[in-house]
Amino acid sequence: MHCFRHRMPALLFSLAILMGLSTAVGAAENRLTRSVDPGSFAGGLGVNVNFSGGHRRDIEHIAAAGFRVVRADLLWADIETEYGRYDWRGPDELVRELRENHLVPLLILAYSNPLYAPRVFGRPASPSLAYAAPDKGRARAAYMAFVRAAARRYGNHVVWEVWNEPDQNFGAPINLRSYVGFAQEACHQLRGIAPDATVIGPAASGFEWPFLQDFVEANRSRCFDAVSIHPYRDEAPESVLGEWTRARASLAACTAPGPCAELIDGEWGYSVAGGQWTTQRQAAFDVRIRLLDVMAGVPLTILYDWQNDGPNPADKEANFGLLDFHGAAKPALGVLQSMIHALSGLHYMGQVATNRPEDLVLAFGADGAVRKLVGWTAGKRDSAVTLAEPVCVNAAAAVTEPPAAEPCGPGKFQLRAQGTLPLSAAPAAFPLASDADGVARVQVSQRQSSN
């Protein structure tokens, strides 16, 4: 599906960022939050797939695993193979099966069409790269007709995304200024038919700041509900916290009435391709991706990818799947399912203060009380965090009335907890059990203590 992976340079994360990151949603409800459950681990978790109809077993597997959203291409070139005639059979089956399994379809209005656009010499024959962008004339008009036809077909029942990674493929050479106007037109075409639909973009391949700023500036009418970014990187995922903080300040700030645009993690994952790219690394990092997004107030995370794209184990681009090429589950899927189960019914409440910035402990709870702690270390070696009450917790933005603010100070609350959390690269959930004095004791399983 994607021929390039944009790799971001490492950003050092500081204690101030890790302990001070809290974000607020816009004053009015954003359409996106009707489809996801912000602050919940699984309620904002999605996965990318590279198929259309005919994959009921995969869809049932995805639903059983606990995902909420499924992202897929709506390939214009596959749907309109004759001028003005659309074949919706594959997408119809996909959308129907997703909805039957209580999954939210996220459809990418994807790419160009050889009926209207010439082949780009020297580019691979992939859907995203092979043909010129439909940014002018007859090709542009035909793409907008396709957008309107899709909106009439699926309306407000799906999340729409306008294109994918245009900074890698829109134009030859790349023309992002052209994409920004093109995307606004496509969004308004959607709104003309499905005014209450959720629309996101630009699916940037990284934190491409000038491009993202131009996109947000053009979205003054707030046609787009969310700014989608793909935060790929080769190093550990924790450096994304600083970038989400910067994005929140520069891209999502708004003062006018109405809902602010959300920031979403539209696609991200880690490959398994030998060397340092192991199945254990993928398992730990993929779970940390969603936990870090929850910390940053990012309501939706789309993991890439559901299944490997090819059989070559050394091909890094083909091995992002949670399943291998033959459909066998990798460890990452089991670890994700375990965390989904452990945090079911709970929401993020804040980050527990620790002595080392690389040791992260998050509080999840319900009904105003912390029920579980989730911890891991981003350091090179296993670690441990010992809690001796009272413990100060940096309150999440959604915690409007912290359980007990004193003596921790504004924006924090006090947690009476005791115990030692063994931390490794793979996040683990630790239940809390309160004693007669109201002190929460950390429960550590035998397996966790031996890791």
Q: Are residues 241 and 314 in the same domain?
A: yes
Q: Is residue 7 part of a domain?
A: no
What pLDDT sits at residue 399?
A: 64
Q: Is residue 421 part of a domain?
A: yes
What pLDDT sits at residue 19?
A: 32
How large is the average pLDDT for residues 323-346?
A: 98
Q: Are residues 288 and 272 in the same domain?
A: yes
Q: Are residues 247 and 324 in the same domain?
A: yes
Given 342, 359, 390, the domain boundary residue is 342
CA atoms within 13 A on the CB side of 161: 30
Given 282, 316, 342, the domain boundary residue is 342
Q: Is residue 8 part of a domain?
A: no
What pLDDT sits at residue 250?
A: 85
Q: Are strands 359-366 and 369-377 parallel, antiparallel or unpaired?
A: antiparallel
Q: Is residue 10 part of a domain?
A: no
What pLDDT sits at residue 434?
A: 86
Residue 38 or residue 224, greater confidence: 224
**What confidence category does residue 144 fall into, taking pLDDT thresholds of 50, 70 and 90?**
very high
Q: Give the CATH number, domain containing residue 33.
A: 3.20.20.80
Q: Is residue 391 part of a domain?
A: yes
Question: Mind listing the pLDDT tens digit for each residue in 225-262?
Answer: 999 999 999 999 999 999 999 999 988 766 566 678 89
Q: Is residue 234 part of a domain?
A: yes
How large is the average pLDDT for residues 96-116?
A: 98
CA distance 22 to 190: 33
Given 342, 358, 383, the domain boundary residue is 342
Q: Are residues 279 and 427 in the same domain?
A: no
Q: Are residues 113 and 209 in the same domain?
A: yes
CA distance 285 to 291: 10
Residue 11 scores a pLDDT above 90 = no
Q: Are residues 307 and 159 in the same domain?
A: yes
Per the prediction, the chain carries an average pLDDT of: 90
* pTM score of the predicted model: 0.92
Q: Other CB atoms closer than 10 Å to residue 285's CB: what's the count? A: 21
What pLDDT sits at residue 18?
A: 34
Q: Are residues 64 and 159 in the same domain?
A: yes
User: Whole domain around residue 56: which residue ranges?
Assistant: 15-342
What pLDDT sits at residue 231?
A: 98
Q: Are residues 22 and 123 in the same domain?
A: yes
CA distance 192 to 254: 24
DSSP state of 334: H
Give the lowest-confidence range in 21-35, 131-145, 267-281, 407-421.
21-35
Q: Are residues 390 and 425 in the same domain?
A: yes
**What confidence category does residue 390 fall into, taking pLDDT thresholds of 50, 70 and 90?**
confident
Residue owning tokens 């699916």 = 203
The kind and range of the H/E element at 393 are: strand 391-395
Alpha helices, H only, 159-208: 166-169, 176-193
Q: What percent of the chain has pLDDT over 90?
A: 78
Q: Are residues 312 and 376 in the same domain?
A: no
What pLDDT sits at residue 260?
A: 81
Q: Is residue 255 part of a domain?
A: yes
Q: What percent of the chain has pLDDT over 70?
A: 90
The domain tally of the chain equals: 2
Q: Are residues 265 and 411 in the same domain?
A: no
Q: Are residues 311 and 398 in the same domain?
A: no
What pLDDT sits at residue 410?
A: 83
Question: Mind listing the pLDDT tens digit for each residue in 156-185?
Answer: 999 999 999 999 999 999 999 999 999 999
- Are the CB atoms for 75 and 320 separated by under 8 Å? no
Give the pair of three-digit tokens for residue 449: 């203590």
How large is the average pLDDT for residues 289-294?
A: 98
Q: Is residue 56 part of a domain?
A: yes
How large is the average pLDDT for residues 318-325?
A: 97
What pLDDT sits at residue 193?
A: 98
